[in-house]
Amino acid sequence: MTKLLKPMTDADFQQYREYAVKNYADEHVKAGNWQDDEAPRLADEQFHSLLPDGVHTKQHHLFKLHDEKEGDVGILWLNITLQDAFIYDIEVEEVHRGKGFGKGAIQAVDSFCRANNVKQVRLHVFAHNQHAISLYEQMGYKMTDHMMAKRLSESMD
pLDDT tens across 37-62, in order? 999 999 999 999 999 999 999 999 99
* Residues in CB range of 24: below 8 A, 6 or more apart: 43, 46, 47
CATH architecture group of domain 3-138: 3-Layer(aba) Sandwich (3.40)
C-alpha 104/C-alpha 111 separation (Å) is 11
Residue 49 has φ and ψ, to the nearest 5°, of: -65, -35
Query: Which letter does DSSP use for residue 64 in this model?
Result: E
What's the first-to-final CA gap in the chain, in angstroms? 57
The predicted model gives 118-123 an average pLDDT of: 94
Q: Identify the H or E element spanning 26.
A: helix 10-31
Residue 46 has φ and ψ, to the nearest 5°, of: -65, -45
Question: What percentage of residues in the chain have a pLDDT greater than 70?
Answer: 94
C-alpha 83/C-alpha 118 separation (Å) is 4
The predicted model gives 97-119 an average pLDDT of: 92
Question: What percentage of residues in the chain have a pLDDT greater than 90?
Answer: 64
